[in-house]
Amino acid sequence: MNPQLAETLSAALLVLVLACAVIRPFGWPEAVVAVPAAALVIATGAVSFDDALAEAERLGPVIGFLAAVLVLAQLCDDEGLFQACGAWMARTAAGRPRRLLAQVFLAASAITAVLSLDATVVLLTPVVFATAARIGARPKPHVYACTHLSNTASLLLPVSNLTNLLAFAASGLTFTRFAALMALPWVAAIGVEYLVFRRFFATDLDAGAQAPSETEPPQLPLFALVTVGCTLAGFVLTSVIGIDPAWAALAGALALAVRALIRRRTTPRALVRAASVPFLAFVLALGIVVLAVVDNGLDDALGHLIPEGTGLPALLALAALAAVLANVINNLPAVLVLLPLTAPSGPGAVLAVLLGVNIGPNLTYAGSLATLLWRRIVHAHDGEVELKEFTRLGVYAVPASLLAAVLALWLSLTVIGGG
């Protein structure tokens, strides 16, 4: 195929795939458009079959990891973990909306880091709605915290976000070193978000609430907690001995799945549904479409914008570029585009890109698929999401938290090394 025609076709298909992922016409899964688009770029020669196969092999372990974590999160919900979390938040908030906001930040940050951002968006957001209603607090600050933290708080571990899994594979870091380098940026970004939220939603937080009536707290699902803890330990162990951490995620998911099947709390069909196979197909197809765009000219165009080195100015430039690109073409394509260009500069450059594609999407609806999903959940609970308010909150929060996170990353790379 003519190079110019291949570039035009690839770019048009990427726009179409992303637009359908955002709009989801007729309620179709994202894969309905993405899979044919991937087949088309292969059939027309915009990307060779061998290159597409190599991309599928590269993304395979990442997609398997994602499937296992999604199942693990759903089974934790079935065990009552999120209901117990909501009861804890209501009880410890004691009728104080500001304290509830702090509890939501703690819960959402921990859940996002350990069980991925999807767990926070899909499973925690409805619990936060119910918790706010239970104490008579205005839900907006707490519900908005779920979407912001599903992105910002996903910086800590490779398992926290699909973008992290991709960056982890490209960085060459071990699981523990990745976490060590990202711990300080994670704390810094969340801390700035919390301060912005307290100021931005001051009126809602001052409206008051009431302490919940005394009821028997739900039983803590110890088996689920122990399984999650063992799974995290497995991530560290497999990384140390050179085994793909996806096996640890699979072991944790299997442990909960077998128990749930024996107790008839789930079914094989429910487990397959929890794995979100259409979304996994979408991720694979999107990777192939993005590869076609990159191979047909985007890598050359962006290559001139990638700064050299991993000093503080370079890290700031990389994070800013990644944040802008995430809001233009969504964070998943952005990280797929930028990782091959930044990986030769070392882990520091890769992690700076990760800061941009994880924090940056809080600026717009289209920046992250998680935000789009969060919007649908809010509307399902008769909540309102105003574009002007969402964007204004993003303008206050994103530049400040991104700057704090990059400074923290630079400090971590200086002290720990690995840049």
Does residue 354 contact residue 126 with C-beta atoms inside 8 Å? no
Q: CB 269: neighbour CB atoms within 10 A?
A: 8
Greater model confidence, 19 or 227? 227
- Split into its structural domains, the chain has a count of 1
Residue 316: predicted pLDDT:
96
Does residue 409 contact residue 348 with C-beta atoms inside 8 Å? yes
Domain range for 222 is 3-416
pLDDT in tens, 134-153: 888 888 999 999 999 999 99
Average pLDDT over residues 269-293: 89
Average pLDDT over residues 170-190: 94
At 217, the pLDDT band (50, 70, 90 cuts) reads low
Q: pTM for this structure?
A: 0.83
Does residue 161 contact residue 283 with C-beta atoms inside 8 Å? no
Does residue 373 contact residue 153 with C-beta atoms inside 8 Å? no
pLDDT in tens, 310-361: 899 999 999 999 999 998 888 888 898 899 889 999 999 999 999 999 999 9
Query: In angstroms, what is the C-alpha Rg of the chain?
Result: 21
Residue 313: predicted pLDDT:
95
At 232, the pLDDT band (50, 70, 90 cuts) reads confident
pLDDT in tens, 37-80: 999 999 999 899 999 999 898 888 888 888 888 898 889 888 88
Does residue 419 contact residue 348 with C-beta atoms inside 8 Å? yes
Helices (H), 116-174: 117-118, 125-135, 140-152, 162-171
Question: Please, what is the angle between helix 49-78 and helix 162-171, to 10°?
Answer: 130
Q: 329 burial class (0-12, 13-18, 19+ CB within 10 angstroms)?
A: buried
Average pLDDT over residues 75-97: 84
Residue 132: predicted pLDDT:
87
Which of 119-128, 152-161, 193-202: highest mean pLDDT? 193-202
pLDDT in tens, 397-406: 999 999 999 9
Residue 310: predicted pLDDT:
83
Has residue 83 got a pLDDT over 80?
A: yes
Closest to 337 (Cα-Cα) out of 371, 311, 310, 306: 306
> Tokens 């759903």, residue?
74
Does residue 324 contact residue 363 with C-beta atoms inside 8 Å? no
DSSP category for residue 54: H
Quote the CA–CA distance of 330 and 371 in Å, as a whole number.
11
